[in-house]
A and B are shown apart, each in its own frame.
Chain A
């Protein structure tokens, strides 16, 4: 099926496809999440290259700015904030989930074969000169898609506030009574159970 195509386009697409799939495999296979995030970066850059081939230069730029510039950096921030605990030992799940994963994988291989054998989408119309450009995109966003655009800005606002509220956790209240502030912070549940067990042990030891 690749007989009569421009060799440069073919080479560019092949590099992008190999980078995308290799990066995706690295994302889920590296035990260390920092390497996973770096592999995700490769996948995102490769997908931006594919957007360029599909006459979507504006989306390619957005992909690089938002994903490579913001989302992956956010992932790296969180991984570094969590530190070595972000790489817990004994990753991977039981037989049932692995079987489900294998079934899903084979289903997708089947799907790709079906798509490949489908010839109806082979003919491509010639794209208009401004197709996918910033001009065409901006004109559409502020006319036909104005309401979704505004709603998405509202969504981003809500998610900013939500992220701050969730990640901040419970802060000590400055208005609280000083007696309460002097108390040590409530121990986590497991710690509380451990101290309780320890107390029981010491009690029984005293009895003996």
Chain B
């Protein structure tokens, strides 16, 4: 039986990598993928803690709804990326400066 902290450590590292990717990368598509990484890390944490409290499925059900919301978010986010690209001919996030000044 692998100890739960091992899963939590992997989830924490994944979330950290996702957060850094979202902060550092300028490509909007890569930023969206970093968000997916963070959501996956959170799901892994939910499932790992549900293994500790195995008398109910609450964590797993929450992870399930999380996956549904993440799929919806990816669809809408990529649609916005497409619309942004049509407007600006680039996917660099600092090209989105219509509200500047």
The interface of chain A, by Cβ under 8 A from chain B, is 1, 5-6, 9-10, 13, 17, 20-21, 24-25, 27-28, 33, 36-37, 40, 43-44, 47, 50-51, 53-56, 58-59, 62-63, 66-67, 70-71, 74-75, 77-79, 81-82, 85-88, 90-93, 97-98, 100-101, 104-105, 107-109, 111-112, 115-116, 118, 121-122, 124-128, 131-132, 136-137, 140-141, 145, 148, 152, 155-156, 158-160, 162-164, 166-167, 169, 188
Contact = CB atoms under 8 A, between A and B. Distances in A.
Contact of B40 (A56, A67, A79): A67
B81 A78 contact: yes
A132 to B, nearest CB: 6
Interface of B: 1-10, 12-21, 23-27, 29-30, 32-34, 36-37, 40, 43-44, 47-55, 57, 60-61, 63-65, 67-76, 78-83, 85-92
A67 to B, nearest CB: 7
**Interface of chain A, helix or strand or loop or mixed?**
helix
Contacts of A78: 29, 78, 81-82
B20 A104 contact: yes
Contacts of B23: 93, 97, 100-101, 104
B68 to A, nearest CB: 5
A10 B2 contact: yes
B4 A160 contact: no
Given A121-B52, A124-B1, A101 B30 contact: no
